[in-house]
Structure 1
Amino acid sequence: MMKRVLQLFVLLLVLGVGFSAAAEDNKKYTLNLGTVAPPGTPWSKQLKSVKKRIEKASKGRIKVKLFLGTAGGEKSIVRQTKRGELQGMGVSAGAMATLVPEMNVFELPYLFSSAKEADKIIDNHLYTPVQELLRQYGFELYLFGENGYRNFAAKGKCIEKPQDLADLKMRSQESWVHEEMYRALGGNPVRIAVPETLPALQTGNVQGFDNTPLFAFAASWYQAVDHWTVSNHIYQPALVVYNKAWFDKLPDDLQKVLLAERKKETEYGRKLVRALQPKLVKNLKAAGMTVCELDSKQKKAFAKDAKKVHELFRKRAGKKGAKLLDIVQKHN
């Protein structure tokens, strides 16, 4: 009798585990993924590619909802993802630095000598340390994408030498690294949030800014200046990141889906941005803007002064931030 009871108990236990596993396999999950990038941009195309791949590979168990052109700016998106209101995001490294200060390493001027070098160091040497760092802050890194190279733009003249910044008030990204870069170059930074920048340019509160051509077009900032300098002084990567608490609760097979095809997606995103860059510069000329391109000698003059910020970062970013800078300097 006891033997039959035991056999029945074991059978029920096995069936229970089976039903539980089946229920887990059929459970649906939603990935709300936000970005400030509007429809039609390289980043919107990148995230649509990610969405398509995830939904197909998960056989519909993960539904991806994209929130393109999300209002409130990147700082808001980072915080929403941290709180779990969004489960994922596509943002710049600078935006990540608002909660993960060590990520300011990617905002340092003249950190990489070329996009090719940036690819090599980020993919082969920085991905794993950054992944481990972000986990400590409640994020799970998927991939590095690209915002592109930042250039100078101003009213009245090109910025062809550091001294050209002396008599201009330049809009600075809301980051101490960007402010210190302008100061190192002898400029006058004015920290202004993204939504307030165009009015500040139009009223003359600032006479210039630095950003990527893609962002300058998307935000219409180019309309308020008449000179563009292809200085390429900051290479700005971007990232696709998940909320770690949400990610950790997923079944193992779905976690693998979310992290799969990283190399392919990374290359696709970079290709989209880099193909557009020269076209955007041509569009600036077509819009009547004077476009100047710095030669190697001119870039060296900027780099000599701007690299003072690297040591400031080392002092302010702590051991983890200094470690990231050490990795870059070791391999470039």
Structure 2
Amino acid sequence: MANGTHTELYVSEQVVVLCTCALSFLGSSLIIVTYAVWSDLRTTPRKLLVYLSVTDWLSAVSYAFGVWRSFRADSLDCVVQGAVSTFANTSSFFWTVAIAVYLYVFIVRSSQRSADSLVLVFHLVSWGVPLIITVTAVGLNKIGYDASEVSVGWCWVKIQAKDHILWMLLTGKIWEFLAYLTLPVLYILIKRHIHKAHAALSEYRPILANRPQANSFSSMADVKLTLIPIIFIVLRIWSTVRFVLLLADSRVRHSPVLVTLHGIGNTSQGAANCIMFVLFTQPIRTRLCAALCCSCCCCCSKCRAEEQHGSPQEPPPQLDSSAQRDEDASSRAQADR
């Protein structure tokens, strides 16, 4: 699998990762489009989700380009792709944690005003810090060909740089570790607060028991709060494992299974967010189904109209007989003359 310091990629690995990139591209685009189309869904948490989807969209595009090119040496497009993916990936970590912090302040601290006041801080940190890190790394010539040692075909930190471990930490890994620690803690605190609130309203349960729809919404929200940190960790852990194996100088990091899991995990965040916050959100799912049905009906109606318009129509019989009578009369008049 390894050729010197270069991890060879199989075509099957590239195809799988390109497919997950495409799914993340579509998923992130769907989140952005639904937010733009339906104004009543433009809540602050969903707005933060849109910002996260923008970073996932950029990640999917840059990773797809890197996997497709499968770089073998430093080049201008390698540096550009590495810079874009570094910025987008790091920003994605910050926005993921920012959403958890917002929900914690909004739900646990019961202060929407305080939560909304944090949005500006989220912008400054989630866009500013990754931008500063990426510009600095590019300026110091640290971004480039990494021989797929901790990537899957795309460019990141130059593997030949003497301080490449430090820059791998600064351009992603340290923020990834912090997200591993922060997300579970915040979502556990949110879940505990919600469960305590439900227990405090236990005397109203006989009334609420007759409202299965409300119970299903509450159950789905509880499932999402559980899945968000779990999915993040499950997707990202493979890149962390390969980074640790790089530190240990273990050749296991070249394993085709581990490389494939790394590629799928790093490129699937947009698709996972779409599944949780679009396909598993009933109001949005209902609207999407209605929009698809409407589009299909309109398409069928248009096709029928085009078929009727395009088919040759015979003139009405009365018009044919009238024209024939006029022609016969004209012939008799000419014969009389």
TM over 0.5: no
TM-score of the superposition, structure 1-length normalised? Answer: 0.25
Structure having the higher strand fraction is 1
Bigger radius of gyration among the two: 2
Structure with a larger share of its residues in helix: 2
TM-score by length of 2: 0.25
